[in-house]
């Protein structure tokens, strides 16, 4: 549909800023108002304004300070957050093995040295020194 609008010259500067396309500006203002009043969907806005994707509609709506986030949406998000926080407060991490205690660092160090030495012995006995053997030597020396 083609619409013609006559704006008196003395008011045109107030309605349409200099350097902008009056037809496009009036179209955008009309589309934004219709979307705000729920007379148009986002897809209809995209088609009317000739945007290729819905991703281009979001900046347009932001330009007109139209946000699709209602007070009800906020209330739902706050309720979900509160539920998650309640679950978090009730969460108890699993108990570690060995009767609820972690292994002392000395036991871990001794186990690491043993593994490193076995890796080194294996590498020497097979005649294939590799990165594991080098790591074993370094590990053996660093845990002492």
- Determine the pLDDT at residue 61: 93
Residue in the block written with tokens 């088609």: 47
* Rounded average pLDDT over 87-106: 60
CB of 49 closer than 8 Å to CB of 35? no
CA quadruple 90, 93, 95, 100: dihedral sign:
negative
Percent helix, strand, coil in the chain, to 5, is: 65, 0, 35
Residue 117 lies in domain: 105-142
Answer yes or no: is 124 within a domain. yes
Answer yes or no: is 129 within a domain. yes
* Rounded average pLDDT over 58-84: 85
8 has a pLDDT exceeding 80 = yes
* Residue 116: both structure tokens together: 């490193």
Mean pLDDT of the chain: 77
Query: Closest Cα to residue 70, out of 36, 45, 29, 33?
Result: 36
Q: Could you tell me the CA-to-CA distances from 105 to 39, 93, 96, 110 in Å, in that order?
A: 68, 21, 15, 9
Answer yes or no: is 3 within a domain. no
Higher pLDDT, 97 or 32: 32
Of the listed ranges 5-9, 77-81, 116-120, 138-142, the one predicted with least confidence: 138-142
Higher pLDDT, 46 or 19: 46
Answer yes or no: is 30 within a domain. yes
- Count of domains for the chain: 2
Answer yes or no: is 76 within a domain. no
């Amino acid at each position: 549909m083609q619409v013609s609008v006559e704006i008196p010259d003395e008011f045109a500067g107030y309605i349409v800023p200099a350097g902008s396309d009056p037809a496009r500006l009036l179209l955008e203002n009309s589309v934004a108002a219709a979307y705000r009043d729920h007379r148009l969907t986002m897809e209809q806005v995209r088609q009317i304004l000739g945007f290729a994707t819905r991703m281009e509609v979001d900046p347009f709506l932001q330009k007109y300070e139209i946000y699709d986030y209602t007070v009800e949406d906020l209330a739902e998000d706050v309720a979900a957050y509160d539920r998650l926080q309640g679950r978090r407060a009730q969460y108890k991490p699993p108990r570690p093995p060995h009767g609820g205690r972690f292994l002392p660092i000395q036991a871990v160090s001794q186990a690491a040295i043993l593994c490193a030495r076995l890796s080194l012995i294996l590498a020497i006995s097979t005649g294939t020194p590799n990165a594991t053997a080098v790591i074993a030597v370094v590990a053996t020396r660093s845990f002492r």
